[in-house]
Amino acid sequence: MAFTVNDFSDLVRLLAQHPEWQAELRRLILTEDLLRLPAVVQELAEAQRQTGEQVRELTAAVARLEAAVEQLTQAQRQAEERIGRLEAVVEELAQAQRRTEERVGRLEDRVGRLEIVVGELVEAQRRAEERLSHLDATVKELAEAHRRAEERLSHLDATVKELAEAHRRAEERLSHLEVVVRELVQAHRQAEERLSRLEAAVRELAEAQRRTEERMEIAIQEMGRFQNALGATIEEEAESVLLTVLEEKGYRPLAEPTVLSLDGEIDVVVPIQDQTGATLWAIVEVKTRLSRRVVHDWAQRMRSAGWQERLRAAGVPGPYLVYVFGIRIDQHTVAAVQEQGIGLLTGRGERIPPREILIPQS
């Protein structure tokens, strides 16, 4: 296997870390003689100092030394050649080391950037974990919502079935309604025909109504004339009854009975004189049908100071004999007359006399 620059870099790094390996490396690179040379020189020096007499031994030793030196020289030459080659290799290794350092520098920059990226990734991981926690809660909520949705879908399925049934019933009703509509159209056509006939009948009725209204107008006019005549007749009867009653009581009429209009008509007014020569005024309210309300209102009016003042201004100063006259009278009317203390006249004469003469207020 080829020895590469990377391998040499590893070797240099390991030798620097392990100095004991350097001796083993020298043993491998240098020969055994070169390694023994320091020891041999030491021995020769020691022998030289200890004995100067062993010249032959020394000469032999020198010879051996020369041989060894020759060998060492040869080995040195070989070592120098190997060292030259090693220097070239070391130079190449140094170049490779520089390139490696440059690459390491770039790698360190990249590592720094990677550390920043890793920090960002760690932060992103933390945020991701937080988001995952939130997502877990969201997933749980979605699961619950899904469960509720499933329940609602089940309910909707039932509702859809109910709607389908309702639709079927609606279709049946619609079919029935179509039949009914056709019948209604036929009935409407018949109704229009009847309406046309009714319109003609209404026109005839309107004409008859007009003629009836004309006849009613005539009847109303006749009724008004009849009421006027009836009123005059009742007032005349009331005058006749009043005069008869007054004569029976000993009163003498001083003038003919008259009608007095004072913001409301007084039907019969007649001045009379009693046995002592005092002048009184007989006043009668005439109605075809007397009611309790009419009696009450007439009695209260005659007792009113304002009304008496107006009578005085019209030439009727009093005192007064107050009567009511009616054709139809019931028990309630009789009771009302008795309560109010006024007199009651009918066609038969005086039914209830006045309780007292009404003296005008000063």
DSSP code, position 263: S
Total domains in the chain come to 2
| 38: in domain | yes
Cα gap 33→222, rounded to integer Å: 181
pLDDT of residue 232: 44
Residue 42 lies in domain: 5-127
Convert the pLDDT of each residue in 307-347 to its tens digit: 999 999 889 998 999 999 988 888 889 999 999 999 999 88
3-state secondary structure (DSSP) of residue 293? helix
Convert the pLDDT of each residue in 143-166 to its tens digit: 787 788 688 767 767 876 887 787
| 361: in domain | no
Convert the pLDDT of each residue in 264-293 to its tens digit: 567 788 999 988 999 999 999 998 888 999
| 83: in domain | yes
- Region 71-93 average pLDDT: 75
- Boundary (domain end) residue, out of 127, 153, 185: 127
| 170: in domain | no
| 57: in domain | yes
Which of 197-224 are b and which e, b meaning 16 or more Cβ less than 10 Å from the residue's Cβ? eeeeeeeeeeeeeeeeeeeeeeeeeeee
Cα gap 271→320, rounded to integer Å: 9
pTM of the complete model: 0.39
- Boundary (domain end) residue, out of 127, 150, 174: 127
| 274: in domain | yes
| 317: in domain | yes
Cα gap 350→332, rounded to integer Å: 17
- Boundary (domain end) residue, out of 91, 111, 127: 127
CATH of the domain at 338: 3.40.1350
CB contact at 8 A, 293 and 331: no
| 192: in domain | no
* Structure confidence at residue 119 as a pLDDT band (50, 70, 90): confident
